[in-house]
């Protein structure tokens, strides 16, 4: 039989793990997007005039 305290601990652990995964996924997506924008700014594709 699982006690209420064990259920609470399990729920807190799962919630923390899910929150961490969501935070890491969002951080990586923003970092990749920012890196892509910076590389696009630094290295414009051929055909665009360079200063």
pLDDT, tens digit, for every residue of 3-33?
Answer: 999 999 999 999 999 999 999 999 999 988 8
Dist CA 5 CA 17 (whole Å): 18
7 burial class (0-12, 13-18, 19+ CB within 10 angstroms)? Answer: exposed
Return the residue matching tokens 């064990």: 6
Domain coordinates of the chain in residue numbers? 17-41
Specify the higher pLDDT residue, 3 or 41.
3
Q: What is the pTM of this model?
A: 0.56
């Amino acid at each position: 039989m699982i006690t209420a305290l064990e259920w609470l601990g399990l729920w807190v652990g799962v919630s923390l793990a899910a929150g961490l995964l969501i935070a890491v996924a969002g951080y990586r997506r923003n970092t990749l997007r920012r890196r892509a924008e910076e590389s696009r700014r630094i290295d414009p594709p051929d055909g665009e005039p360079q200063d």
